[in-house]
Copies of this chain bind each other. A is one copy, B any other.
Amino acid sequence: MAKDLKKEAKKRIFDAAVSLFARKGYAAVGIREIAKKADVNICMINYYYGGKVGILREIINECYEKYYRAITHVDINDIPLEQCVRAIIKNLVAFFRENTESALVAFNALSFDIPEIVDLKTRWTVEYREKVNKFFSQIGLDTSDATQMNFVHGLLTTIVESHFTRRFFYEHIIGTGTLAKSREANVLPEPALDYDDAFYENFTEMLTNFYMHGVTGIATKKHEKMSGEQVCIEK
């Protein structure tokens, strides 16, 4: 019984911090605000997490673990390439749907005055580099082409993340009094969307098509360019 309550205080701190960090950013949120929202004494933050930065560390670790599991939890050897891309996108979308706030916190937590956090995020990136590169070579990209790799690196994640960032933004300013009522009516870029399963199936399909065609376009152009250069040499 008491053990359950213990875990609850720690979890409440975590959840409160995720919510507040997502809305205001890490630096703008103080431990007193977190403690109040979590209904604990502020010393609990040092007790359970070693301090404010400890919360962020755990948010990032939890989030990155889920994220990398999502993008690597696809057996890319047994299914056609397009299905592989679709599966990854589907996992990505599911990841962001289930962890919207903590993902926003973790992915945006980049401040050069917290070396520990810079270091931590770099470690995660380096650790998964090989798996990510394997995926790229499988879809036909030239992993030795530095520009191409620079271009596609993290592209799917970026696109999905920006979608959820925008959705979060709209959902948290509409109806909260942050905007004047007269402006709220104008702020939606399109009719209000119902972000249900059907929407995200559709979204996944759209992104899969977009990405597959896009990447094919890059690979095709590169091939044509090389052919063109041979023609020039022969002339």
Contacts and interface: CB of A to CB of B under 8 A. Distances in A.
Which of A159, A179, A212, A214 has the most chain B CB atoms inside 10 A of its CB? A214
Interface residues of A, number: 65
Given A27-B27, A112-B173, A162-B154, A213 B217 contact: yes
Interface string A206-230: 1101111111111011000000000
A19 to B, nearest CB: 11
Interface stretch (A41-49, A70-78, A142-150): A142-150
Number of copies: 2
Contact of A172 (B112, B180, B218): B112
A111 B203 contact: no
Contacts of A39: none
A183 B28 CA distance: 30
Q: Does more than half of chain A's interface fall in helix, strand or loop, or is it mixed?
A: helix
A205 to B, nearest CB: 7
B28 A111 contact: yes
Which of A146, A159, A190, A207 has the most chain B CB atoms inside 10 A of its CB? A190
Contacts of A110: 169
A216 B211 CA distance: 11
A118 B186 CA distance: 14
